[in-house]
Amino acid sequence: MVVSLIKSKPIICNQMKYLPTVNLWNPAIASAIETGQMKLQCGQWVKCGTDKLSRFVCKAGNSLWVAHWQGNSKDTKLRFQNLLRAAKASKYVKCYENRH
């Protein structure tokens, strides 16, 4: 479930569905994310200019937090978990997926 922290009150939203792998370097997709027309769920598989898959963590302001390939699946998963933990602790991040 997606939780949004607005005025320190958690608001539980409907769970989103994962999309097929999203290419973040596609200008149309980048624009849709920036304008809010497309929302990515935490954990969504994305591509960022290479054939290696990355995992979307969250959007914080104008920045996208993405865990990139770390050379092997174990280290990539650990990087994703660490970024997710940091996002949950950050006062600048308004939404996060809390089931990871």
Q: Are 65 and 87 in contact (CB under 8 A)?
A: yes
Does residue 3 have a pLDDT over 90?
A: no
pLDDT of residue 62: 82
Does residue 36 fall inside a structural domain?
yes
Domain ranges, residue 61: 19-72
pLDDT of residue 60: 84
Does residue 77 fall inside a structural domain?
no
Does residue 90 have a pLDDT over 70?
A: yes
Does residue 62 fall inside a structural domain?
yes
Does residue 64 fall inside a structural domain?
yes
Higher pLDDT, 64 or 4: 64
What would the two tokens of residue 39 be? 């929302």
What would the two tokens of residue 13 be? 């939203």
pLDDT of residue 15: 61
For CA atoms 60, 79, 44, 17, the dihedral sign is: negative
Does residue 67 fall inside a structural domain?
yes
Predicted structure pTM score: 0.74
Does residue 70 have a pLDDT over 90?
A: yes
- Number of folded domains in the chain? 1
Does residue 68 fall inside a structural domain?
yes
